[in-house]
Amino acid sequence: MKITSPAEGYTKQDRYGETVLDFKDGVAEFDGDLPHAVRQYLVGAGYGIGSKKPTLPEQAVEPDPHADPHVQLGTPL
């Protein structure tokens, strides 16, 4: 099974419990079935599994408190 890192050119050995993935230039090959928890983590972190391409996770955007003075951020004093 081919696993593609969302970071292009990533070269390192990653351990997820007993599962070890050796990434070279952003790609790791894994023989056998990937444990369900490891697969879920990798998909959630943006890794591509099999023919699916990797995706970068969406970054949270902090609201600008000065953009709209009528929007309350946080709790009132």
Q: Does 71 score more than 70 pLDDT? A: no
Q: Is 32 helix (H, G, I), strand (E, B) or coil?
A: coil
pLDDT at residue 49 above 70? Answer: yes
Residue 32 is encoded by which pair of tokens? Answer: 């056998």
Tokens 């593609």, located at residue: 4
Q: How many residues make up the chain in this entry?
A: 77
The torsion angles phi and psi of 24, rounded to 5 degrees, stand at -135, 120
- Give tens-digit pLDDT for 5-30: 998 899 999 999 999 999 999 999 99
